[in-house]
């Protein structure tokens, strides 16, 4: 299929702010499904509420736009009903770590065959720039006018601790790396968690002195490094990128099918 066959052109131009990193992720996702030659009928995207969740409105395959924080719960039910589907779950700070945090850790624990994409822009953009569980200490936000004192979640460590069998991280600057990691995540049998650091120039960059989209992406370039690289070895304070885990373990839908078969004996 051609790249444009995967998008709903009638919903463009999109609603994201100029410079938002979500469009970069959408582009990488569409190129990845094109590279894999996947049919639209085999794909389903499940999203919750927020800027990142608008991705589901722009792809021309099966989609579910669900409740805030419940995307993974709905995706779990969908995958159990239709295990053959390739299911993607794009989430922002809230869907993954606030109202949806419990669903996130249990999806990781169960090892259900989903691709969970966490778009981490460290802010609630759609609702006005409130601070989130990913914002971190010292962040200025509309609900933290004197700066946040909360420690942030580390998505990678959270996913690893919850038992996810594929865990990776990249940034909106590293476009080809997004495609490479997405492909590995989609081909992995089990839960795949891909954190993508994305820029929000409107509410995060502007308020926190990080500049516009270009300057924020340069920060991702300069302040991250691949795992096992000399750059990271020499600068351990940098944010590591790459694959942190890729294990083979029993997948939940397959195990559930075996339980059903035993019950019918």
Say which range, 10-19, 81-90, 170-179, has the weakest mean pLDDT. Answer: 10-19
Q: Which of 180, 231, 175, 168 is nearest to 199 (CA)?
A: 175
- pLDDT score for 2: 72
- pLDDT score for 31: 94
- pLDDT score for 184: 98
Alpha-carbon distance of 74 to 116, in angstroms, equals 13
**In this predicted model, what pLDDT tens digit does every residue of 108-147 receive, in sequence order?**
999 999 999 999 999 999 889 999 999 999 999 999 999 9
* Phi, psi (degrees; rounded to nearest 5) at 4: -70, -15
- pLDDT score for 1: 67
- Mean pLDDT, the chain, whole residue set: 95
Alpha-carbon distance of 15 to 102, in angstroms, equals 29
**Cβ atoms of residues 243 and 160 within 8 Å:** no
Share of the chain above pLDDT 90, in %: 91
**Peptide bond before 244: cis, by omega within 30 degrees of 0?**
no
- pLDDT score for 142: 95
pTM over 0.75: yes
Q: Using 50, 70 and 90 to split pLDDT, how confident is the model at 11?
A: confident
18-264 CATH fold = Rossmann fold (3.40.50)
Q: Of 3-17, 60-74, 159-173, where does the model show the most confidence?
A: 159-173
Q: Using 50, 70 and 90 to split pLDDT, how confident is the model at 10?
A: confident
Alpha-carbon distance of 238 to 220, in angstroms, equals 10
**In this predicted model, what pLDDT tens digit does every residue of 66-107 receive, in sequence order?**
999 999 999 999 999 999 999 999 999 989 999 999 999 999
Q: Locate the domains of the chain by residue range.
A: 18-264
Specify whether the backbone of 96 is left (phi greater than 0), alpha (psi in -120 to 50) or beta. Answer: alpha
CB atoms within 10 A of CB 212: 14
The DSSP output letter for 152 is P
**In this predicted model, what pLDDT tens digit does every residue of 213-246 receive, in sequence order?**
999 999 999 999 999 999 999 999 999 999 999 9
């Amino acid at each position: 299929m051609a790249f444009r066959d995967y998008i709903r052109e009638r919903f463009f131009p999109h609603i994201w702010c100029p410079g938002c990193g979500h469009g970069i992720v959408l582009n990488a996702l569409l190129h990845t499904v094109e590279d894999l030659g996947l049919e639209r009928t085999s794909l389903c995207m499940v999203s919750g509420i927020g800027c990142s969740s608008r991705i589901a409105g722009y792809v021309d395959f099966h989609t579910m736009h669900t409740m805030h924080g419940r995307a993974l719960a709905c995706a779990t039910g969908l995958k159990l009903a239709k295990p053959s589907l390739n299911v993607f779950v794009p989430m922002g700070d809230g869907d993954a770590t606030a109202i949806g945090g419990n669903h996130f850790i249990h999806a990781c624990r169960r090892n259900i065959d989903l691709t969970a994409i966490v778009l981490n822009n460290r802010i609630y953009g759609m609702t006005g720039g409130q601070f989130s569980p990913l914002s971190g200490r010292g962040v200025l936000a509309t609900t933290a006018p004197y700066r946040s004192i909360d420690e942030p979640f580390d998505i990678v460590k959270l996913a690893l601790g919850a038992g996810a069998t594929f865990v990776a991280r990249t940034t909106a600057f590293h476009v080809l790396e997004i495609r490479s990691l997405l492909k590995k995540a989609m081909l992995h049998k089990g839960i795949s968690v891909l954190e993508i650091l994305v820029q929000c120039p409107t509410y995060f960059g502007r308020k926190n002195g990080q500049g516009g989209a270009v300057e924020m992406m340069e920060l991702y370039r300069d302040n991250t490094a691949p795992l096992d690289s000399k750059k990271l070895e020499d600068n351990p304070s940098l944010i590591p990128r790459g694959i942190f885990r890729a294990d083979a373990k029993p997948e939940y839908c397959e195990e559930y099918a075996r339980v059903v078969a035993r019950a019918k004996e």
